[in-house]
Structure formats: C-alpha cells, structure tokens
Structure 1
Amino acid sequence: MTTLTVPLDKLVPISRFGRGTASAEFAKVEDNKPVTVLRNNEPVYFILNEHDYRHFRELEEEVRELRNAEARRQVENKEYVKTFNSVEELGDYLDAI
C-alpha cells in the first residue's frame, strides 16, 4: 500500500465544488503543493498547476524511455543467453553449431 502525505490546508471535500467556492480552492494550488480533493474522506482527485503538470509529464516520458531502453537491452542480451534443461541438451546444441 502506498502512503500519501498532503498538507492539511490542501485537503478539500468535493462538496465545496458544488457550493460556488471552487475558485477559492483552485487558488490554493502552488508549485509542488497540489490540492487534494476528498470524497468520503478518501483522496479522489489532485489539482495541479501547469508547472507541476508539465514536470510530471516530463517524468512520465523519462520513465517510458528508460523502460524502452531496458526492453531493448533485454532483447539484445537474450541473443547471447540460452537455457538448457540437461547436459545432453547442451551437448546437442554444441554439436549442432
């Protein structure tokens, strides 16, 4: 289970958005401090500013690139890895090459 830590002044019940106070809640958003919207005392939405949104998108792209590089590395290394279930199977393979 992942632990989520947010400042108490950034927790907002979802009901506040139906009372015409949404702009005041949006104004609470700061760099690295999203507003956490709660429903039934559980976080369901996070309101980010543009700076943080762009930062997270960049991080997602970096992770995607790292995963792709790792997948390519595994494919490249797989060509040099062969698994044998017995010594006889290894011998048959070596005789064939």
Structure 2
Amino acid sequence: MIDNITIGNVVNSLVPISRFNKGEANKIFEEVKETGFKIVLKNNTPACILLTPEVYDELMETVENYRLLVEAEKRIEKAKSEDFVSADEVMNELGIKSADLDNDDVEIG
C-alpha cells in the first residue's frame, strides 16, 4: 500500500486537526482505511501521521529488513576468508552425509 505514494496522495492526505474538533474523527478514520494514511496538521504543520495497522506493519517490516541488511553488510565487510567454513566441513562435523539429504525436501522462504 505504501509503494504507490505520490505527491498527489500526500497533498490529498492532509487533514486539519480542526476536523477532529468538528466531530469528523470517524470519517477521517474511514479515509485512513481507504488511503492507508493521513497527515494531521496543527497550525499548518504536520503534527502526526495516522496509518492503518497494515501500513504500520509494512513500514516496521521494512525498517527491520533494512536493519538486518545494514548488519549483514557490516559483517561481510569485516569478514575474512578464515571466518568461513565450507558446507563439507559442517556436514563432516555433524556427521551428515550427502546421501542423508537426498530424500529430504527443504523449503527456503
């Protein structure tokens, strides 16, 4: 839902706080449900952003994925070849043979 945010969407999402004072909260929440977000203005300055739970979850997942990416990049940057262990070494250490894996389905994702 946040992938298709445009300047037009942002301009149309501006909500003066006075609308809440006029009893329009339910209508504003319905608009948030339809559009995904609204920006509440107080004295013509953004005071808060209202998001649907789905958009919030999507944003939090994006932030977490970015943090994981940054951590992975730091680790890769600091890694030395002696830090790595081959799959064969791991399988040997754990007593696993290639034949043991032939009939096992592994799902990654």
CA 1:20 to 1:31, structure 2 compared with 1: closer, same or farther past 3 Å?
Answer: closer
Cα distance per residue 1:40-97 (max 9 Å; x no partner): 21222111111111111110111010011112122226xxxxxxxxxxxxxxxxxxxx
SS at match of 2:39: strand
CA 1:31 to 1:57, structure 2 compared with 1: closer, same or farther past 3 Å?
Answer: farther
Q: TM-score normalized by structure 1?
A: 0.62
- Answer yes or no: is the 8 Å Cα contact 1:31–1:51 preserved in 2: no
Structure 2 residue runs without a partner (length 5+): 1-5, 81-109
Letter in 1 for 2:39: T
Comparing 23-32 and 42-51, the one that deviates more: 23-32
**Counterparts of 1:47 and 1:76, CA distance in 2:** 42
Q: How does 1:1-97 map to 2 (within 5 A)?
A: 5=7, 6-8=10-12, 10-30=13-33, 33-76=36-79
- Answer yes or no: is the 8 Å Cα contact 1:31–1:52 preserved in 2: no
**Counterparts of 2:41 and 2:58, CA distance in 1:** 24
Deviation of residue 17 (structure 1)?
1.9
Structure 1 residue runs without a partner (length 5+): 78-97
Letter in 2 for 1:20: G
Which has the larger helix fraction?
Answer: 2
Identical aligned residues as a percent: 36
Aligned residues: CA RMSD: 2.1
